[in-house]
Amino acid sequence: MPLTTVVSDPEALTITVAGEYSVPVERLFQAYLDPRQLERFWGPVEWPATFTRHDAAPGGRSEYFMRGPDGERSGGYWKWIAVDAPRSFEVEDGFANEDGTDNTDLPAMRMVFTFEATDEGSRFTSVTHFGSLEALETVVEMGMEQGIRSAMSQIDAVVADLESFAAGRAVDAQLLSDTQVRVSRVIRGTVEQVWRAHHDADLMRRWLLGPEGWTMPVCEVAHEVGDTYRYEWAPVVGGPADGAPPFGFTGELLESASPCREVTTENMIGMEGPGTTNELTLTPVDGGTLLSLVITYPSQELRDIVLGTGMTDGMETSYARLEEELAAV
């Protein structure tokens, strides 16, 4: 167990948390950048967290909720102010309403996280700054200090688990809610390379093919917010998919923050009804780039139908092909 201290200072209007861990500082820092890892220890043991958005870059935003033992739900957000990997990052931390918007009835806080190397591994310190004594007392009365101790008791197991988050693992799909799925994979390549691979039509035609036996005759990429895109696939004559019907998707680029994040809509060509919203986030990690794709479906039924088609198998084949393309550069 790490040595953890939680100290409240009413005069300085701060709460300071410190812990020491027997892993390199880079490993500890990246546990905070990866939503799959962070949600394993950000919430107390009885209130596990789920991150539905995690843009670990200046100007980015993270959104999460914690669910209690009786089904209670409490939401929160981070607004990313600064990142100096692997030494520090700073966020505004606040409470969120059920729809994810800021809950201004409760205090927001400024949190500064620092990471230092030690002879035995690494040391973590976070200082939470409050705007008033009333704000500090409010969160203390809500049980913040006890919650922090419970949450941090889980970090050791997370940072010791290298296998679950390593490069080389296949695509993982995690259910976030009745209508949301997060698809994750570490791609061996830089953030800039992976971003370009999603916006260079010639390159996309070489890797974004799913299972063997398909071509991508139409690849019209959206580059500016408001642009539409159109992707179409067709089976190779004589190939393993010969005889299957061609298909495609179209949609609109809603948000773009190169090279870290973009949000698009997606509709299957020829299918009526609402489509999905896809949020792509790229984060530098050991071994490459963590690709996180949060897909929001219009219904749980459609979510389950799509997942049942073997979607993640096709995505894994494509991402493995992308790594081959990047290795050849």
CB 170 within 8 A of CB 291: no
Q: How far apart are the first and last CA of the chain?
A: 44
CB 166 within 8 A of CB 181: no
CB 150 within 8 A of CB 44: yes
Quote the crossing angle between the two packed helices 133-141 and 144-152, to the nearest 10°: 60
Order the strands of the 247-257 sheet from edge to edge: 172-175, 180-187, 288-296, 276-285, 261-268, 247-257, 228-235, 214-220
Question: CA 255, 256, 257, 260 torsion: positive or negative?
Answer: positive
User: From CA 117, how far away is CA 21, in angstroms rounded?
Assistant: 10
Tokens of 190: 């830089």
Whole-model pTM above 0.85? yes
Tokens of 266: 């997606």
CATH topology match: 4-165 vs 172-327: yes
- Ordered by start, the domain boundaries in the chain are 4-165, 172-327
Residues (pLDDT < 70) of the chain are: 1-3
Question: Which residue intervals of 185-232 are DSSP H helices?
Answer: 191-197, 201-207
Q: Which CATH superfamily is domain 172-327 in?
A: START domain (3.30.530.20)
Q: Which CATH superfamily is domain 4-165 in?
A: START domain (3.30.530.20)
User: From CA 326, how far away is CA 319, in angstroms rounded?
Assistant: 10
pLDDT at position 3: 57
pLDDT at position 2: 56
